[in-house]
Structure 1
């Protein structure tokens, strides 16, 4: 198929494009500037410079590409993590998940694109009551990640209404995905908050890309949790990440102190987060993970 990957130069796109190419697909991949055109060419894609927040730019890029499938991987997450000011850190990503999604869907409709696959998020932001591990039938928490929760809801509702697939990726790790977090861990600036009982789900970038290829090829519809087999509380995965990174064990700070220092998002993640189940994705997509647990992946990536 001819596949249009919006955000092809991002951390997911850089792993997704080669997998699509290896399976014989023609890939058109976008970047926001000329600086990454060469990278996309080396990955085997036809590069296009596109501004995902400009409706005309998106419409022209899609019309020229004439794809059969659009994959929405556009985000703007870069620099040092700033969980305390989460809305500010994610402001452009939130726009890409709202305005950018609308632009891509409008372009898809205008150009007769038959299928649409979009990146969503499902790591620790499941509804914060009931069990610690959520399925696709459970709602996302509407307050967990500030304005980002509304942006994700907009993306999911719009894509599902268009008959597309929503992939709720877990927290990424792999090449270029966790460098900033690991640096904070090594500096002991990433503490366990309270009892660290909040759950998170992880996924290696290569496994996320492999699931996306399956969703493209099978023209999947609906919501899929793209996470590994082992949702785990922060008190387990964070000390293990530190160990794999050759760092000292993370500090532990009480919840009352973390709120003014790290903000409500960090406290919710560490103490109340809900992870996700991958049973549906494995069953319906035939997805098989190279890294079924973050325990394996962290060790390999940081060895």
Structure 2
């Protein structure tokens, strides 16, 4: 039987582009969704669908124990389409909870299931002010006042939990996503990255990446992505063939 990847957040913007890449590489992919209505989509992608809530620690533990994955990939988010400003304040709270409590449950279940490696989605626009471009050794913003603080606390919690887990841990700090499923047809804001290139980074990191943190974004002077280019063989212009 093929080795297993447990893809948490398989129907998200990155997850649905990433899952077929893993399947095409010969992995057995178990993909999660919170909605039974999305199970059919996962089957179409060649994924074994699993309806589970990351906040249900017991159910998540049982799910990973049954799947026995070699790798757990954390692509969970809870954001509105096109980052709708009218809904972002509430969504930021939900997303921060996923990054803190959800990550804690996922890490615990992964360790208990005997997983060897974990990849997690973070963001490349959480760095503290400083000289550009930011590299992975630069400090994250620790100014936790105001709405941005909700996001920053979630990001800091996610990264700390994943990197301190007894696993081969890789954190991908993605730039601002655009492309299919993101709600943004073209690049916008500093440090953008196409969703296909973001998925490609998670595919490459599965087997090539040494544990640690990688910036994943296009070169515009915001993020230094030389580490991902050198160690992963990643390119920002990579796209899934139409």
**Alignment TM-score, normalising by the size of structure 1:** 0.71
Structure 2 CA distance, aligned partners of 1:218 and 1:291? 17
**CA offset at residue 178 of structure 1?**
2.6
Once the two structures are overlaid, the 10-residue window that deviates more, 141-150 or 23-32, is 141-150
**CA offset at residue 9 of structure 1?**
0.7
Equivalent residue for 2:134?
A: 134
Match of 1:165 among 161, 170, 175: 170
Question: 5 Å matches for 1:37-56?
Answer: 37-56=39-58
Structure 2 CA distance, aligned partners of 1:84 and 1:46? 35
**CA offset at residue 87 of structure 1?**
4.1
Equivalent residue for 1:282?
A: 229
**Deviation digits for residues 243-268 of structure 1 (CA, Å, limit 9, x no counterpart):** xxxxxxxxxxxxxxxxxxxxxxxxxx
Unaligned 5+ runs, structure 2? none
Equivalent residue for 2:126?
A: 125
Matched, 1:154 2:101: no
Unaligned 5+ runs, structure 1? 183-189, 191-198, 232-274, 293-303
How many residues align? The count is 232
Q: Tell which structure's C-alpha radius of gyration is larger.
A: 1
Structure 1 CA distance, aligned partners of 2:183 and 2:133? 23
Structure 2 CA distance, aligned partners of 1:21 and 1:151? 30
Equivalent residue for 1:176?
A: 181
Match of 2:195 among 183, 205, 210: 205
**CA offset at residue 46 of structure 1?**
0.6
The answer to whether the 8 A contact 2:81-2:182 is kept is no
Partner-residue secondary structure (3-state), 1:133: coil
The answer to whether the 8 A contact 2:217-2:236 is kept is no
Partner-residue secondary structure (3-state), 1:132: coil
The answer to whether the 8 A contact 1:120-1:166 is kept is yes
Question: 5 Å matches for 1:57-96?
Answer: 57-79=59-81, 81-83=83-85, 86-96=88-98
The answer to whether the 8 A contact 1:30-1:50 is kept is yes
**Deviation digits for residues 166-218 of structure 1 (CA, Å, limit 9, x no counterpart):** 00011101102034x88xxxxxxx9xxxxxxxx71011111111110111123
